[in-house]
Amino acid sequence: MKRKILALVTALTLVAGLATGCGKKEEKVIKIGATPTPHAEILEVIKDDLEKDGYKLEIVEYNDYVLPNTAVEDGELYANFFQHTPYLNDFNAENGTHLVAVASIHFEPFAIYGGKTKSLDELKDGATVAVPNDTTNEARALLLLEAQGLIKLKSDAGLTATVLDIEENPLNLEIKEVEAAQVARSINDVDIIAVNGNYALEAGLNSGDALAYEAADSLAADTYKNILVVKEGNESTDETKALIKALNSDEVRDYINDTYDGQVVPVF
């Protein structure tokens, strides 16, 4: 009788152990925030690789640049993938957050697209231009307009340029500062737009229709690499190492090159 009881206890213990082990496996979830295109699409590519390493990737999509950062800071997300380093640095400085970049994945060339006016040569006096209203992306848009000879900025404006730094505006362009996600949607209401690559993709804008692009060897190409971000202290965890390994893979590089027709460029 004692042997039967002992065997039963042993069996129950084994089952409980297996259940606990399964529970631990289920808990190996990496919750990551991303804007839909191209970030969430790229993350879909790495799900299988992460699963082989014992992780389930849960992707949460956002349509703004604020919530995915506050969610990582608050612990609602483990990581996010949507931004570049200048934006991250500004966000940390302005919000007192503790977020760090752990890998560079791709570059999305900023571009100018025609709205009411279909070429830069056709722009008339007082033409309207929609640009993002956040500090880093507005500077990027203004630098691209300057590269096309449409405006001239103060020599020291650089990556913090705003409309207040415009020294010369021969066409008296009216710069409309719009929330980044809304710039592409305003294309029919203005003459031209200067827009982030991911929002151009989401809006269905064709790369071949762009009137101008940031040069691949420009300061912007090096500065505005899109990055994987975690909270300070998580730079070297197994989860972070798994994410970096999966995102910096040949599979992801090939996917980006084959899918985005130059609107997204791998940098690893």
Ranges of H-type helices in the chain:
2-26, 41-45, 47-52, 67-74, 85-95, 135-147, 180-183, 197-202, 219-223, 238-247, 250-259
Give per-residue pLDDT as tens, 94-137: 999 999 999 999 998 899 999 999 999 999 999 999 999 988 88
Could you give the angle at which helices 85-95 and 135-147 cross, rounded to 10 degrees?
140
Domain count, the chain: 2
Query: What integer is the mean pLDDT of 19-48?
Result: 83
For residues 145 and 176, membership in a common domain is answered with yes
59-80 pLDDT per residue, tens:
999 998 999 999 999 999 999 9
Residue 154 contacts residue 162 (beta carbons within 8 Å): no
pLDDT, the chain, mean: 90
pTM: 0.72
CATH code, domain with 132: 3.40.190.10
DSSP annotation string for 204-219: T--GGG-SEE--TTSH
Pairing of strands 212-213, 111-114: antiparallel
Domain containing 184 equals 111-222
Task: Tell me: do 166 and 99 sit in the same domain.
Answer: no
